[in-house]
Amino acid sequence: MGADDPVGEEQAHLDLTYARLDRMRANTRRRLSEALRETEDNPQALSERESYERLYTDDLTKFDAAEHNLYFGRLDLDDGEIRRIGRIGILDDDAADSTLLLDWRAPLSRPFYLATPAAPESVELRRHIRTRNRMVRAINDEYLTGERATDTVTAHGDVVNESALVAALNAARTGEMTDIVETIQREQDIIIRSTHRGVTVIQGGPGTGKTAVALHRAAYLLYTHRDTLSRSGILIVGPNDDFLNYIGQVLPSLGESGVLLSTVGDLFPGVRAGAGDSRETMAVKGDPRMVDVIKRAVRGYQSLPTRPVPVTFDTYQVRITSDLVKEARAKARGSRKAHNQGQRIFLRAGLDGLAQAHARTIGASLLDGSQLLSPGDIADIRDEMAQDPDIRRELLRFWPTLTPLDVLRDLYADPAAIRRATPGWSDDDRRALHRTTAPLPEGADLSPADVPLLDEIAELIGFGTEDDEREQRAQWRRRLAEAQEALDILTGSAPQDLEDDLDPEILMAYDLIDAEQLAERQTRRRNLTTAERAVGDRQWAFGHVIVDEAQELSAMAWRMVMRRIPNRWMTIIGDTAQTGDLAGTRSWQAVLEPYVAKRWQLRELTVNYRTPAEITRYANRVLHHINPEHSPPTSLRSNGIEPYAIAAGSLSAAVAAIDPDWPGLTAIIAPDDECAAIAEALTGQHPDSVRVLTVLACKGLEFDNVVVVEPAAILRQSPRGHSDLYVALTRATQRLVVVHDEPLPEELAGMRPAGTSGV
Question: How far, in whole angstroms, is CA 125 from its chain's centroid?
Answer: 40
Q: What torsion do the CA atoms of 509, 512, 515, 520 make, to the nearest 10 degrees?
A: -70
Give the CB-side neighbour count of residue 578, counting CA atoms within 13 A: 27
Q: Which residues pair with 705 in a beta bridge?
A: 666, 735
The CA-atom distances, in angstroms, between 175 and each of 137, 283, 389, 655, 662 are 25, 31, 59, 20, 15
Phi/psi zone of residue 162: left (φ > 0), alpha (ψ -120 to 50 degrees), beta?
Answer: alpha
Backbone angles phi, psi at 126, to 5 degrees: -115, 125
Nearest to 571 by CA among 551, 597, 595, 545: 545
Q: Give Cβ neighbours of residue 357 (< 8 Å, ≥ 6 apart).
A: 318, 319, 324
**Do residues 296 and 594 touch, judged by C-beta distance below 8 A?**
no
Of 260, 212, 264, the C-alpha closest to 239 is: 264
Q: Is 206 annotated as a binding residue?
A: yes
Q: What is the DSSP string of 27-72?
A: HHHHHHHHHHH----SHHHHHHHHHHHHHHHHHHHHHHHTTTT-EE
Interior angle at CA 711, CA 707 and CA 712, nearest 5 = 160
By the 8 A CB rule, do 447 and 265 touch? Answer: yes
Following CA atoms 167, 173, 178, 180 in sequence, which dihedral angle do they give, to the nearest 10 degrees? 30
Residue 310's contacts (CB-CB under 8 Å, 6 or more residues apart) are 317, 318, 319, 320
Q: Are 562 and 594 in contact (CB under 8 A)?
A: no
By DSSP bridging, strand 732-740 and strand 752-753 are unpaired
The 3-class secondary structure across 456-511, one letter per residue, is HHHHHHCCCHHHHHHHHHHHHHHHHHHHHHHHHHHCCCCCHHHHHHCCHHHHHHCC
548, 700 Cβ separation under 8 angstroms: yes
Candidates 243, 178, 240; CA nearest to 664 is 178
- Nearest alpha-carbon partner for 236 in 481, 671, 544: 544
- Nearest CA-CA partner of 237 in 458, 604, 667, 562: 562
* Residue 80 to residue 82: CA distance in whole angstroms: 6
- Annotated ligand binding at 209? The verdict is yes
Query: CA 590 from chain center: how many Å?
Result: 22
> 205: annotated binding-site residue?
yes
User: Any binding-site annotation on 210?
Assistant: yes
DSSP for 303-352 reads ---SS-EEEEETTEEEEE-HHHHHHHHHHHHHTT--HHHHHHHHHHHHHH
Closest alpha carbon to 57 in 25, 88, 86: 25
Question: Binding site residues, as ranges?
Answer: 204-211
Residue ranges at the known binding site for ATP? 204-211
